[in-house]
Amino acid sequence: MKDKGTTYRDAGVDIDAGDALVERIKPLARRTARPEVLAGIGGFGGLFEVPQGYRQPVLVVGTDGVGTKLKLAFLAGKHDTVGIDLVAMSVNDVVVCGAEPVAFLDYFATSRLDLAEAEQVIKGIAEGCVRAGCALIGGETAELPGFYARGEYDLAGFCVGVVEKTRILDGSRVKAGDAVLGMASSGLHSNGFSLVRKVFQSDLPAALARELLEPTRIYVKDCLALREAVDVHAFAHITGGGLPGNLPRVLPGGHRAVLRRGSWPVPGIFERIQKAGDVADSEMLRTFNMGIGMCALLPRAEAATALGLLARRGQKAFEIGVIESVPGLPEPEVVVT
């Protein structure tokens, strides 16, 4: 075999940089460790033992990305928060089923690996895992020269959770009279950024980009605590599609959620987007979370207890509506009055 000639690095893939990144990741992953981790970063697969105490453990698996919010990270040169978004989008979906997120993996793909930039991204992923209480047990870094624009990258995340089979939340227990509690979002989270970029086009200053990069709130520990304290009938993660597109996913047939406009504060960033783009109210509602990132549906009699618990945990929440029975309704729906 020749020692000289064209190398993989000449083609745009730096194996040494990839190995160096793995070494940088290892201490970040150790921050997220759980006792069930048997083998983590560096192997061909992450090994994770099912936590003790489950009689009929069911695995709940979720995957998601960050979407075009990444474009703002490139614009602002700020890469330490999108990893939190990546974790949040998957773990918030998993906890909706009543599951505890326990393990997370990431996929980081770029045109050419920038070690400092990649480390910031994965530092955010580790922080998200800490907030969710799950272990970062592995991932994949890929250099794809000619596939992505220079200086850009993409992310995907994969989460595994565990729930007792008899305690799965699937919306089947939701009934008329249940209260709808809305937990405050931290901003846009990770949805609607294609519209944001369309609205502002080339007039999106770096300062606004940094404001929009506020990471997605992770609701895992609040949801799990709420479930232990009150009789939660369902959770709904408010992502793409907003309240009208996500609440119906946990409603039984013949039911609708009636939400009261003005029952929760809408952050000013949404009004700024709406005015700048002349966006209709209905389009705002079905594109953005409008200040509510997670909903809990539970008996009206337990709403005050739930709100008090969330307040003590530092999570702002509001009673924003009620579930109604509508015999003959073709599909579950959301009505905002």
pLDDT tens profile 281-326:
999 999 999 999 999 999 999 999 999 999 999 999 999 999 999 9
Token pair recorded at residue 251: 């409603």
Report the interhelical angle of 15-30 vs 115-132 (nearest 10°): 30
Closest CA to 269 of 248, 284, 254: 284
Q: What is the percent of the chain where pLDDT is above 70? A: 97
pLDDT at 312: 97
Is residue 5 in a domain?
Answer: no
pLDDT at 289: 97
Residues 205 and 124 in one domain: no
Residues 25 and 158 in one domain: yes
pLDDT at 18: 75
* Mean pLDDT for the chain overall: 92
Which residue range is the domain that position 36 belongs to? 15-167
Task: Express each pLDDT in 238-286 by its tens digit.
Answer: 999 999 999 999 999 999 999 999 999 999 999 999 999 999 999 999 9
8 pLDDT tier (thresholds 50, 70, 90) = low
Q: How far apart are CA 266 and CA 182, in angstroms?
A: 12
| pLDDT at residue 75 greater than cutoff 90 | no
pLDDT at 11: 63
Token pair recorded at residue 67: 């979407």
Residues 163 and 185 in one domain: no
Q: Give the other-Cβ count within 10 Å of 70's Cβ.
A: 22
Task: Express each pLDDT in 48-67 by its tens digit.
Answer: 999 999 999 999 999 999 99
10 pLDDT tier (thresholds 50, 70, 90) = low
| pLDDT at residue 1 greater than cutoff 60 | no
The alpha helices in 133-255, defined as continuous H runs, are: 193-200, 206-212, 220-229, 242-246
Q: Which residue has the higher pLDDT, 31 or 326?
A: 326
Closest CA to 223 of 291, 166, 167: 167
100-110/135-143 β-pairing: parallel
| pLDDT at residue 21 greater than cutoff 90 | no
The alpha helices in 153-302, defined as continuous H runs, are: 193-200, 206-212, 220-229, 242-246, 268-277, 281-287
CA distances from 246 to 22, 52, 85, 255 (A): 37, 33, 18, 14
pTM: 0.92
CATH number at residue 80: 3.30.1330.10
6 pLDDT tier (thresholds 50, 70, 90) = confident
Task: Express each pLDDT in 103-155 by its tens digit.
Answer: 999 999 999 989 899 999 999 999 999 999 999 999 899 989 889 888 899 99
Closest CA to 277 of 191, 201, 207: 201
Is residue 315 in a domain?
Answer: yes
The residue from 116, 139, 167 where one domain ends is 167
Residues 148 and 188 in one domain: no
To 10 degrees, the CA torsion angle through 241, 247, 248, 252? 160
Q: How far apart are CA 159 and CA 129, in angstroms?
A: 10
How many domains is the chain built from? 2
pLDDT at 2: 55
Closest CA to 180 of 232, 239, 127: 232
pLDDT at 215: 96
CATH number at residue 212: 3.90.650.10
Is residue 4 in a domain?
Answer: no
pLDDT at 241: 94
Residues 233 and 116 in one domain: no
